[in-house]
Structure 1
C-alpha cells in the first residue's frame, strides 16, 4: 500500500520526485520579516495523522510550511484551516476583516463579483518563470470569473485542488452477470440496458444485485445537467448574473430526469437520503454502476479493499464535441486587501509546484491539478484509475457553472428530489426549477 498510494513516511522529503529546498534558490530580501496567512478548507492538518483508510502516517502541513519558509528566508506562513461546513459564510467574514492573504475558494465566481479578489493576469504577465502550461487542460479556464468592472472573463484564481466526475463500475459483477463492460464513453441507453441486466438475483452468488446507484440529494442537479449535456443540451447560457438564462425545462433536461426516474427501478431504495450504497467499494459490493463518482480517496479505498482488479472507470456523458460533466475542485486566490501581495503571488506559484501538488496527492489524498502528475511514480502505479480521472478533469464543461454555488443549484436539486420521491412529474419539477431560478436571478 505504501508504494501504491505514495504514503511513505520514511523519506526525508515530502516526495521523492517533487521540488525540494535543495533544488531551488533561497529567496529572501524583499520578503524579509513578512508573514503570509493562508486559508485552506477540508481535511488538512498541521501535524502528522493516521490515514483512516490505509493506517499509514500522513504528513501534516508543517512540511509545506517548512519548505516555503526555507525557500523564502525570513518569512513566515500561517495556515487557517476550516471545515467544509459553512465555508462560504466563514470565508466571507474572513475577507471582510482581512484575516488572510490567500484563500482556497471554490466559490470564486461570487467572490470575484464582489471585488474582493486580486486579478492575477498582471502577475502572470510579469513573471517570466511562471507559465499556465503547467496545469491540466481546462483547469485554468474552469475558474475564470468576472470582477465588478470586467467585460470579459479574467483569471482570479489558480488551480490548486483538482476534481472531476466520472462513472465507476464493478467488473466482477459484470462478469458474474455475463454483461459486457461499459465502453469508455457510454451513452445513456448503454448504461440503462446494462443496469437493467444486472438487477436481480446474482446468478453466481445468489445475492440481490442492483444495476446502478446515484445520489438523489445534494449532487443530483449536477447529475441531471450532465445527462442533458450527453444529449447535446446545456444548462443555459451567460455568465454575469444579468445575462444568465436557464434551460432547466428544456427537452434534454426533461428527458434526463425521466431517465433518472427509470433508473430508480434498478437501484436500491434510499437514493434521496443517500442510502443503499453502503457496500460500494467493498468486497461485498452489490451495485454494478456508480454515476457521478468523484476521486476523493478512491484509489486508496480501492487498494485498501483489494479491489484493484474489480473497479474500472468510464467517462461521464459527453456532447458531440467531447465535453461534459461538472468542473469541480478548488482554486487559490489573493485577497484584494492583502498587504503582502507579492509574497502571496510567490505562494501561489509554490502551491502549484510539484512539491506541494505531490504532497496533497500522496499525503491528504487530494487530486493534483498539474500535468506533471501523470509522470509521478505514485500515479503511474495506479494508472488504470488515474488516467481516466485525469481525462475527466480535462473535458468538463467550462467555465464552471456560474450558479454552481448559488441558489439555482439548490432550487434544481430540490425539484429533482421532488420528482424522485413522486411528488411531481419530471416536467412539473423542471418547470418549477426554471421559474424559481429565473425569478431568483431577476430579483437578486
Structure 2
C-alpha cells in the first residue's frame, strides 16, 4: 500500500514531558489576524490545491490570513515534537489518527468542544459516517476529520474474462478468493496480492474474528483466530504461491505489477484509482473478502489546533472550513486528494459519477465495516516488533504461530 503503508510505520512515541506547554502568539498583519497552518499531505502533489483552499477560506473570512507550511511526512512529526518542546507549534496543523492519542493525551491540542457547541452554523451531522468521533478523547473534541481513505480489492476484469471466471462479489470469502487466484495464476501472472505487514495483519485477523489487542489494550497476538489469519496470509505466498514472494517481485511494487497485468487481484488504497486510471485493461473494485466477517482498513486525517493558539475563534473557523466546506471538498475531489469527510450527497455523487472504476460507490460502502488501527502506548515500537517477526516468517525462519507467539512476548515486554 505504498505511501499509506509507509505513513503508518512512522515513529509516534513522544515523551509526555516533551509535549507539555506550547506557546503561540496572535499576529496582526495589515489589520488581519494571521494564523499558521502546517500540513504533510499537500506535498508534493497538492500544493496548488492547498493554495486554492486557503484562498477560498480567506475570501470567506477577509479578516483572517493563513500562512502555510508544507513538511514532508518523513520529517513532519519529528518537527512537531521539536516545535512542541520549543513552544513554537503552529496554530493549526494536520494530524493523523495514529498520532492523535499521543498529542491529545499530553495537553498539546486545543479543546474544540465549546467552540463547536456554540457555533450555530456547525453540527456533527456535517461530517459523514462516524468521522466526527474519530478525533475525540475522554469526551472532548480535539479535531475534525478532513479526509479519509480506505483499502478495497482491485481486480483485472480482462484476466477474469480470459479465465472464464465470474467477477468477485461482496459475498466472497477467503475461500472464493483462493479458488479464483489458483485459476488465475499462470506463467507471468499471480492471482492475488496483499501486503504481509502489521497494517494488513490487524485488519485480516478481524476478518477472522480475532484482534491484536483486547479492549483494555492487552496484547492477544497468539490467539487461535490470529494464528489462523496469519497462516492464511503466508499460505498464499509459501504454500499455494498465488501471491508473489518478495524475491519473485524482484523489487517491483505490487501496484506496478497490477498495472502491468502481473497480478489479477490486489488489496490497496482507494487513492490508487487515479494511478490505475490509464491501465490498458478493464478493471474494477470490490469489498475485500473476509472469513467470518467483513473488515476494511480506514485511514483518517484531521485538522487540529494548538492549545496555546491566541486566536481560538480563527483557529476553529479554519478547522471547520477544511473539514466541512463544500468548496474545499470539491477541490479535494477534483485533485483526487483522498475523500473529504463532509456529509454532502452532491459531493459524494460527483465522486461516484466519475468513469473509472465503475463501482466507485464501494469506496463509501466499505466505511460501514471500516476499522482503525489499534492505538496503544509505544505504537511505533510495537509495530516494528511485530513486523520483525512477520518478516522472519515470510523468509521461512519460523512458522506463523511461532511468529505471533514471539511477537506476543515482545509486545508484552514493551507495554510493561
Report the Cα offset of residue 143 of structure 1.
Answer: 3.3
CA distance in 2, matches of 1:410, 1:385: 35
Deviations 1:250-308 (A, max 9, x none): 111111111111111112231798646364343x31211112x1122x2222323354x
TM-aligned CA distance change 1:274 to 1:212, over 3 Å:
farther
Q: Secondary structure at the match of 2:221?
A: coil
Deviations 1:31-80 (A, max 9, x none): 952111111113436xxx7x9xxxxxx84422222222221123210111
Segment drifting more, 80-89 vs 359-368: 359-368
Q: Secondary structure at the match of 1:166?
A: strand
CA distance in 2, matches of 1:316, 1:235: 19
- Out of 186, 191, 213, the residue aligned to residue 211 of structure 1 is 191
Structure 2 counterparts to residues 14-33 of structure 1, below 5 A: 33=32
Does the 8 Å contact 1:103/1:333 carry over to 2?
A: yes
Partner of 1:226: 203
CA distance in 2, matches of 1:417, 1:121: 43
Segment drifting more, 129-138 vs 365-374: 365-374
Segment drifting more, 31-40 vs 309-318: 309-318
Q: Secondary structure at the match of 1:103?
A: strand
Does the 8 Å contact 1:162/1:393 carry over to 2?
A: no
Partner of 2:58: 69
Structure 2 counterparts to residues 303-342 of structure 1, below 5 A: 303-305=277-279, 307=281, 309-315=282-288, 317=290, 320=293, 324-342=295-313
Answering whether residue 273 of structure 2 is matched by residue 299 of structure 1, we say yes
Report the Cα offset of residue 325 of structure 1.
Answer: 2.6
Partner of 1:288: 264
Report which of the two has the higher share of helix. 2
Q: Secondary structure at the match of 2:144?
A: strand
Report the Cα offset of residue 329 of structure 1.
Answer: 2.5
CA distance in 2, matches of 1:122, 1:273: 54
TM-aligned CA distance change 1:144 to 1:169, over 3 Å:
farther
Q: Secondary structure at the match of 1:213?
A: coil
TM-aligned CA distance change 1:332 to 1:317, over 3 Å:
farther
Answering whether residue 95 of structure 2 is matched by residue 95 of structure 1, we say no
Does the 8 Å contact 2:258/2:266 carry over to 1?
A: no
TM-aligned CA distance change 1:90 to 1:273, over 3 Å:
farther
Deviations 1:309-333 (A, max 9, x none): 323222353754x5x2323121111
- Out of 120, 133, 141, the residue aligned to residue 112 of structure 2 is 120
Partner of 2:151: 165
Partner of 1:136: 128
CA distance in 1, matches of 2:301, 2:349: 21
Deviations 1:116-167 (A, max 9, x none): 112222222111211111222122333333xxxxxx3543221112111122
Matched residues, number: 377
Does the 8 Å contact 1:221/1:412 carry over to 2?
A: yes
- Out of 171, 175, 190, the residue aligned to residue 176 of structure 2 is 190
Unaligned runs of 5+ in 1: 1-30, 52-57, 146-151, 202-207
CA distance in 2, matches of 1:431, 1:61: 46
Does the 8 Å contact 1:98/1:337 carry over to 2?
A: no
Structure 2 counterparts to residues 400-415 of structure 1, below 5 A: 400-403=373-376, 405-415=379-389
Q: Secondary structure at the match of 1:90?
A: helix
Deviations 1:180-199 (A, max 9, x none): 22121421222222112211
Partner of 1:27: none
Answering whether residue 318 of structure 2 is matched by residue 347 of structure 1, we say yes
Partner of 1:18: none
Structure 2 counterparts to residues 4-83 of structure 1, below 5 A: 33-44=32-43, 59-83=48-72
Partner of 1:54: none
Q: Secondary structure at the match of 1:328?
A: strand
CA distance in 1, matches of 2:283, 2:115: 46
Does the 8 Å contact 1:361/1:368 carry over to 2?
A: yes
**How does the TM-score come out when normalised to structure 1?**
0.78
CA distance in 2, matches of 1:74, 1:374: 28
Does the 8 Å contact 1:138/1:394 carry over to 2?
A: no
- Out of 347, 352, 366, the residue aligned to residue 392 of structure 1 is 366
Segment drifting more, 342-351 vs 96-105: 96-105
- Out of 92, 96, 100, the residue aligned to residue 108 of structure 1 is 100
**How does the TM-score come out when normalised to structure 2?**
0.83
Partner of 1:14: none
RMSD in angstroms over aligned alpha carbons? 2.6
Partner of 1:237: 214
- Out of 374, 398, 408, the residue aligned to residue 434 of structure 1 is 408
TM-aligned CA distance change 1:434 to 1:161, over 3 Å:
same
